[in-house]
Amino acid sequence: MSALKRIAISVGDLNGVGFEIILKAHDQIKHLCIPLYCINYTMSHQAALLLKKQIPNDFHMFKVSGEFTIHPGTVCAASGQYSFDSFLCALDLARQKNVDAIVTLPIHKEAWMHAGIKYVGHTDALRDLLDSEAIMMLGCEKLYVALLTEHIPLREVANHITTDEVYNFLIRLHHSLNRSPIAVLGLNPHAGDHGVLGDEERFIEEAIVRANQTIGEAVFEGPIVPDIAFTPRSREYYKTIVAMYHDQGLAPLKALYFDEGINVSLGLPIIRTSVDHGTAFDIAYQNKALILSYINAVKAAVSFTTEPTNAN
């Protein structure tokens, strides 16, 4: 049996459910990898006290400086800063090859903003800090969705539907994720109905043809009508879908697989996975948080370390 992989885990916003998930799942996670939690003694014990739980004896921490008072379910700059510092700690461990991958617990974007952090979220930060064109892909083994555009206003999405931009995205996705067939959604209802409801689909189609010619095989198919792409019959055939914008892909994905979905950053020099949910402030420190997404994120991180061609 091969040695367990070392995984750095950033704790997310400590005013949310992240640390509860970590403690609940620890006994399972330690059999999947060697977890290294990016948090200091003071903050970990404060969180555990609020949860009325003990820190396990085999709970390995890598110190993240800073202290603040945890206020469950509250957006605050101090918690935002600590979650960012925990993330930077995990990232540095990966860059220095001290761990095989990182797994991130949820941060709160508004808390990052209050802390003066210039990034919208983890993926945005990873692109800049690693100087890489990261691709955000979410889902589970049953279905993954890769996003052409992410956290931008809906009115700006159409500006990104150009042949070159879609083509470059598809080629990067293929290099990061060696699988087929992959469905590429249209932007408009009915995939434009041949121009009746919009003409962006002609750029998507041109990009698909070019990408498949470059690759030398028909990896990508489409444009697929968005409102049928997530039906049972379609999911039997397509295990990966490219969505043109955030909610087009993630609303149906989360309706289908909310509890088990994960977030994977493709195209990076490191392996990073994350839970596919937020801080859940409404249930913070109430021992109600579910752990399946986190366990799946760890499993995926371990899997990608043994299959590097599928990770980056």
Could you read off the pLDDT of 267-300 as tens digits, one per residue? 999 999 999 889 999 999 999 999 999 999 999 9
Which residue range is the domain that position 168 belongs to?
135-264
pLDDT greater than 60 at residue 133: yes
CA angle at 278 for the pair 272 and 281, rounded to the nearest 5°: 140
264, 279, 296 - which closes a domain: 264
Burial category of 58 from C-beta neighbours within 10 Å (exposed 0-12, middle 13-18, buried 19 and up): exposed
Question: pLDDT-derived band of residue 74, with 50, 70 and 90 as boundaries?
Answer: very high
Residue range 105-131: average pLDDT?
95
Q: Is residue 13 located within the same domain as residue 128? A: yes
Q: Is residue 126 located within the same domain as residue 1? A: yes
Cα→Cα distances 188→24, 249, 253, Å: 43, 13, 18
In total, how many domains does the chain have? 2
Specify the pLDDT at position 147: 96
Q: Is residue 24 located within the same domain as residue 62? A: yes
Q: Is residue 255 located within the same domain as residue 289? A: no
Instruction: Please state, in angstroms and rounded to a whole number, the distance separating the CA atoms of residues 53 and 114.
Output: 30
Q: Is residue 90 located within the same domain as residue 205? A: no
- Please tell me whether residue 220 adopts helix, strand or coil conformation: strand
CA nearest 47: which of 58, 27, 61, 35? 61
Q: Is residue 75 located within the same domain as residue 216? A: no
pLDDT greater than 60 at residue 85: yes
Q: Is residue 27 located within the same domain as residue 126? A: yes
Specify the pLDDT at position 194: 86
Q: Is residue 240 located within the same domain as residue 197? A: yes
Strands 182-185 and 135-140: unpaired
Specify the pLDDT at position 310: 39
Instruction: Please state, in angstroms and rounded to a whole number, the distance separating the CA atoms of residues 151 and 149.
Output: 7
pLDDT greater than 60 at residue 311: no
Quick one: what percent of the chain has pLDDT higher than 90?
A: 85
Strand order in the sheet with 182-185: 34-38, 6-10, 101-104, 272-275, 262-266, 135-140, 143-147, 240-243, 182-185, 220-224
Sign of the torsion formed by the C-alpha atoms of 26, 112, 120 and 101: negative
Residue partners of 56: CB distance under 8 A and separation at least 6 = 23, 26, 27
Sign of the torsion formed by the C-alpha atoms of 90, 93, 98 and 101: positive
Specify the pLDDT at position 151: 84
* Structure tokens, 217: 């095989």
Mean pLDDT of the chain: 93
Q: Is residue 181 located within the same domain as residue 130? A: no
We report the CATH number of the domain holding residue 182 as 3.40.718.10
pLDDT greater than 70 at residue 2: no
Q: Is residue 279 located within the same domain as residue 202? A: no
pLDDT greater than 70 at residue 166: yes
Name the phi and psi angles at 41, rounded to 5. -60, -45
CA nearest 271: which of 233, 294, 298, 244? 298
pLDDT greater than 60 at residue 77: yes
Q: Do 182 and 221 form a contact (C-beta atoms < 8 A)? A: yes
Cα→Cα distances 192→150, 276, 282, Å: 21, 30, 40
Q: Is residue 1 located within the same domain as residue 124? A: yes
Tens of pLDDT, residues 237-261: 999 999 999 999 999 999 999 888 8
Tens of pLDDT, residues 187-224: 999 988 888 888 999 999 999 999 999 999 999 999 99
